[in-house]
Structure 1
Amino acid sequence: MEVLRRSSVFAAEVLDVFDRSLSDKELVSQSKALCRDYILSRLNQNGLGWSKSELNFTPPNAALAEVTMVLLCLGDELECIQPSLYRNVARQLNISVAMENVVSDAFLGVATEIFSAGVTWGKVVSLYAVAGALAVDCVRQGYPSTVQVLVDSLGQFVRKFLVHWLKRRGGWTEIMKCVVKKDLAPEQPWLSSTVESIKYFLTTMYVYIMKEP
């Protein structure tokens, strides 16, 4: 009974966090924390052996822990569908990761293309997958400081373009509706449209970013 009581209290505390309206600053902060966690997962997945301290990692609070797990699960699924799409992204974009401003501009350009026709959770996941893939490229090529640039760039994009969309959905917890709870198996419809849209911009974004205004 004591275990059940403590679980109920914990659940109530988590729900209380999401019952109140989150500020823009809080949503951006959560989005960046999720990005750091996503990148950390991808770096370790690629054998780059990064620790949380190297990413200025702040452990997510209890309310974000399950969101992190779901985001990573959906990212895994998206990357499995088109593995080549989320590998060597810097080379696909024809950019040098040695220049932080170029990486930032490229990432923001890709983000703009992803959401040019509207916002869906699938596109949000693809944004994190691109950030993770670019982070792997940066660290692998010896430019680990650029990782934080990616996190900050994602936060900048969320603040300008996604924060109101997140607010209308009550924050990040709605992403959990994209999975079947018992095994975190993602529903498929949003994935196919995301893959089709991302195929195009990854091969053309360098031209788009670098062209004269």
Structure 2
Amino acid sequence: MEVLRKSSAFAAEVLEVFERSLTEKELVSQAKALCRDFIVSRLNQNGLAWSKSELNLMPSGAALADVSSVLVCLGDELERILPSLYRNVACQLNISVAMETMVSDAFIGVATEIFSTGITWGKVVSMYAVAGALAVDCVRQGHASTVQVIVDSLGQFVRKYLAQWLKRRGGWLELTNCVVKKDLFPEHRWLSSALDSLRYYLTTMYVYIMKEA
């Protein structure tokens, strides 16, 4: 019994140290670094010349390399399922990418709607897909500086709504475990709620903006 008590106490100490290491600031910084990588991949896919150095972010580092790759691949799959949803998002929202405040408000509004019924990894991927699509619109229309606004807005949203959820799961690395342990692709069940939320939101966003103006 004494051995079990000592073992349990040690496990609790290890868990406490592990949780302390996952600070809100680190999780948000990683979220923004992942957003940068995701955006760069989307811009490259669309043949848009752009550099990571244009974003005010530190490199994501080797620790997040696998997460970034998985996130991009899942984003590809999400957009393959319903490509029209992640193209010309600014037009669908009827916003001007030249107006940074409008872009930020629209992104936060979309993210809020996506997670209105709970948090899942599928919805996290959907949020990044929206960020990437908006970034493509910004650069294509000559407003590359607005991309940083999107990244910062995503960071703000993660800090306010997702940081504790991420912390309970051990951080962003859990995304890679989720994909390895679960057969996500054949039926796409994990994406359905995210797609439904986003589809509804894109059709009502213009009314929302007009009411808030």
In 2, Cα distance between equivalents of 1:40 and 1:187: 28
Count of aligned pairs between the two proteins: 196
After superposition, residues 13-28 of structure 1 pair within 5 angstroms as: 21-28=21-28
- Greater shift, 53-62 or 41-50, is seen at 53-62
Q: Kindly tell me: are residues 167 and 97 of structure 1, through their superposed partners in 2, closer, same or farther at Cα, counting changes over 3 Å?
A: same
| Unpaired stretches in structure 2, ≥5 consecutive residues | 1-17
TM-score normalised by length of structure 2: 0.85
Q: What are the superposed Cα offsets for residues 162-197 of structure 1, whole Å, 9 maximum, x if unpaired?
A: 10110111100111133248xx96872202232222
- CA-atom RMSD, angstroms? 2.2
CA contact (8 A) 1:85 1:199 kept: yes
**Paired position in structure 2 for 1:74:** 74
CA contact (8 A) 2:19 2:167 kept: no
**Paired position in structure 1 for 2:167:** 167
TM-score normalised by length of structure 1: 0.85
Q: What are the superposed Cα offsets for residues 53-72 of structure 1, whole Å, 9 maximum, x if unpaired?
A: 22345332221110000100
In 2, Cα distance between equivalents of 1:130 and 1:57: 20
In 2, Cα distance between equivalents of 1:134 and 1:173: 25
In 2, Cα distance between equivalents of 1:192 and 1:212: 29
Shift, 1:103, TM fit: 0.4
* Larger Rg belongs to: 2
**Paired position in structure 2 for 1:178:** 178
Structure 1 vs Structure 2: percent identity of aligned residues? Answer: 77
**Paired position in structure 1 for 2:112:** 112
In 1, Cα distance between equivalents of 2:113 and 2:212: 18
Is the partner of 1:171 in helix, strand or coil?
coil
| Unpaired stretches in structure 1, ≥5 consecutive residues | 1-17
**Paired position in structure 2 for 1:65:** 65
Q: Kindly tell me: are residues 129 and 51 of structure 1, through their superposed partners in 2, closer, same or farther at Cα, counting changes over 3 Å?
A: same
Q: Kindly tell me: are residues 20 and 160 of structure 1, through their superposed partners in 2, closer, same or farther at Cα, counting changes over 3 Å?
A: closer
